[in-house]
Amino acid sequence: MKSPAFASAHGKIIIIGEHSVVYQYGAIVAPFTQALINVRIEEKAGEILIDSAYQNGLFFAKDAPIEGLQTLLSSFLLKYNLPSKDLNITITSNMLSRRGIGSSAAVAKAFVEALFKFFEIAYTRNDLVEFIKISELVYHAKPSGIDMTAILSDDLLWYQAGKFVPIKPKFSFYVVVVDSGTASQTKLSVSQVKDRVDAHDPDVIAALAALGDLAARARWELENGNLASFAKLIRASQTHLTTIGVSTRELEQLIDFSLEHGALAAKLTGGGQGGCMFALFEEYNKCEKFVKIIKEQGVSHTWIMKID
């Protein structure tokens, strides 16, 4: 009998530049190391089973909401000429799905890495990328590659026009990532912004250009400037995200609450229209105090992460 295999993956957050990045501007992306997905695979006679928040029971059940993982596993078994049976898959996580934090890419990475380990097949980063792409294409018609690259990296990254460059900040800071309680709608928000761009909406076109400029300036501040100036750029970007129509009342309330309780800046992260926001702080103890206060307001999911 084969030994059980384990693998994990972290998520990602976009610090600045969401939506404008679709139009060839740059974005700063951070590995979200506090949000993890863990996969365990063990041998068990019979049909392939899964125990997860997404699906329990038969892995290949019709209409199970794990189409990307199903396609990934089918491709993996076919490529390596392996039987479609005798696997028990367990997925656990403190990462919420459909929140704009890279959960689909993260679960694909952890899953395929666990498969390589379980079957004792040597693999490279390119092998992981091959199968993550298979899964991501199911969920995203044209995945940018941001999520996949961020979950495979431990570095803060600058992404622009398909290329990634590591960023080394001159200063450190903390972010408190807060779930708004509603799922993000990335496909919808990207589509709606595109419709307004195609209609030559001057406000949206100007806002996207402003977001691109703010992202470039934020990168410079990270590498050469100071936290106060960087925070001002983060705050300004939220105004433009609101202009293009991807913020929500719940996100705005959390952002305002954060600024009222000591955050240097706060903004949504990811596609918007739900999902998560983050508040920026200079000290860990201020993050702890803020988390305590915001949980008293009924918020269930928060994460504290240092970026340096």
pLDDT of residue 56: 93
| pLDDT at residue 141 tops 60 | no
Identify which of 306, 176, 196, 307 has the alpha carbon closest to the alpha carbon of residue 246: 196
* CA–CA gap between residue 295 and residue 193 (Å, rounded): 33
Identify which of 4, 1, 2, 308 has the alpha carbon closest to the alpha carbon of residue 156: 308
Q: How confident is the model at residue 140 (pLDDT cuts 50, 70, 90)?
A: low
| pLDDT at residue 144 tops 80 | no
| pLDDT at residue 142 tops 80 | no
Domain-terminating residue out of 160, 184, 199:
160
Q: How confident is the model at residue 262 (pLDDT cuts 50, 70, 90)?
A: very high
**In terms of domains, do 290 and 189 share one?**
yes
Average pLDDT, the chain: 93
User: Mean pLDDT, to the nearest integer, of 273-298?
Assistant: 94
| pLDDT at residue 133 tops 80 | yes
**In terms of domains, do 298 and 274 share one?**
yes
Q: How confident is the model at residue 165 (pLDDT cuts 50, 70, 90)?
A: very high
How many of the other CB atoms lie within 10 Å of CB of 291?
17
**In terms of domains, do 71 and 183 share one?**
no
* CA–CA gap between residue 244 and residue 275 (Å, rounded): 16
**In terms of domains, do 154 and 262 share one?**
no
In this structure, what token pair is assigned to residue 273? 């229209």
pLDDT of residue 96: 76
**In terms of domains, do 28 and 125 share one?**
yes
DSSP annotation string for 238-291: HHHHHHTT---HHHHHHHHHHHHTT-SEEEEESS-SSSEEEEEES-HHHHHHHH
Q: What pTM value is reported for the model? A: 0.89
**In terms of domains, do 132 and 210 share one?**
no
Domain harbouring 243, CATH code: 3.30.70.890
SS3 call for 21: helix
Q: How confident is the model at residue 295 (pLDDT cuts 50, 70, 90)?
A: very high
Domain-terminating residue out of 104, 138, 160:
160
| pLDDT at residue 207 tops 80 | yes
**In terms of domains, do 290 and 194 share one?**
yes
Domain harbouring 15, CATH code: 3.30.230.10
**In terms of domains, do 118 and 235 share one?**
no
Q: How confident is the model at residue 198 (pLDDT cuts 50, 70, 90)?
A: very high
Domain-terminating residue out of 111, 138, 160:
160
In tens, the pLDDT along 150-160 reads 999 999 999 99
| pLDDT at residue 307 tops 60 | yes
User: Mean pLDDT, to the nearest integer, of 113-134?
Assistant: 97
Poorest-pLDDT segment among 69-83, 84-98, 165-179: 84-98
**In terms of domains, do 72 and 103 share one?**
yes
Are 156 and 307 in contact, with CB atoms under 8 Å apart?
yes
Q: Where in the sequence is the domain holding 145, given as residue range(s)?
A: 5-160
In tens, the pLDDT along 21-60 reads 989 999 999 999 998 999 999 999 999 999 998 899 999 9
Q: How confident is the model at residue 89 (pLDDT cuts 50, 70, 90)?
A: very high
| pLDDT at residue 143 tops 70 | no
**In terms of domains, do 9 and 156 share one?**
yes
Burial 60-89 (b: 16+ CB within 10 A, else e): eeeebebebbbbbbeebbeeeeeeeebbbb
Instruction: Compute the CA torsion angle 32, 218, 166, 131 (nearest 10 deg).
Output: 50
In this structure, what token pair is assigned to residue 28? 């700063």
**In terms of domains, do 129 and 176 share one?**
no
User: Mean pLDDT, to the nearest integer, of 183-193?
Assistant: 83
Total structural domains in the chain?
2
**In terms of domains, do 38 and 176 share one?**
no
In tens, the pLDDT along 219-256 reads 999 999 999 999 999 999 999 999 999 999 999 999 99
